[in-house]
Amino acid sequence: MERAMPSAAAEALPRRVALEGCTNLRDLGGYRAADGRRVRFGLVFRAAALGALTDADLVTLGRLGLRTVCDLRGEKERERAPSRLPEPAPEVVSLPIEPTVGAALRDILERAEATGEDVVSLLGQAYQAYATSKLPQYRALLGLLSRPERLPLVFHCSAGKDRTGFGAALLLTALGVPRAVVIEDYLATNRFWEGRAALPPGTPPAVSEALKRAHAPLLEAALDTALRGHADAEAFMEAALGLDAARLAALRDALLE
């Protein structure tokens, strides 16, 4: 009888890197792919913003041996909270995905009509953009991850939740990790991230809670949108992300063991 693959929870995944100034840095290693191999530890990390790291955090981050930091934040986000990085500093590659929720949310708050459902709807629009108009940024990210000289690599946005979450989902999908486990990794943000984003005074609690949480239906819908019109995940990877059969096999050989 074929042995069932253990879930991420059974393997105590994801493995978090404990920092004082970033609560959502974690290793994407350990997940089982459909072919039975496992994502290697110590090569790919996902994170929230790195601008509040302490000196002790820099020592911890330095031990990871990072060669590349991929920043998915928009231009103004980067200006407001520049990253703190260990020396010698890894190369920073900016692949900006400008946030779209803020302006619409401010409009709703000014009318005192904001609800949690409104926020989820706004986030859903952003996720649909990740799966369509923002795919070039994710294609570039997967390209970096395909180059061994770029590893170890960390990619991040502000919370490490939405833009980063979709990027992690695409990578794990490319590696052959089952959808249910991809969603488990995404939802781990709800355990780890402390939600330090600044919100306007008087923000309704339901709005704050909705903004700070990862929502599985949004990721599911975005992945479905990305894959729509393609015969399978491999066809999508080739057409949208530049991972033809040879490149996809090379990525899997580099990141799976």
Mean pLDDT of 179-203: 87
Residue 237: inside a domain: yes
Q: How confident is the model at residue 163 (pLDDT cuts 50, 70, 90)?
A: very high
Structural domain includes residue 8: no
Residue 6 lies in a domain: no
In a domain, 5, yes or no: no
Residue 102: which pLDDT band, with cuts at 50, 70 and 90?
low
CA angle 10, 189, 39 (to 5 degrees): 50
The whole-chain average pLDDT of the chain stands at: 91
Percent of the chain at pLDDT > 70 equals 93
Range of the domain at 98: 13-197+206-255
**pLDDT in the model for residue 13:** 95
d(CA 91, CA 111): 43
CA contacts within 13 A on the Cβ side of 45: 28
Instruction: Judge whether 1 lies within some domain.
Output: no
- Report the domain count for the chain: 1
What pLDDT is attached to residue 112?
66
Q: What is the pLDDT of residue 1?
A: 34
pLDDT for 193-218, tens place per residue? 987 666 777 778 888 888 889 999 99
Whether residue 80 is contained in a domain is answered as yes
Rounded distance between C-alpha atoms, residue 212 and residue 159, angstroms: 8
**pLDDT at residue 65 tops 90:** yes
CATH number at residue 131: 3.90.190.10
Tell whether the model's pLDDT for residue 175 goes beyond 50. Answer: yes
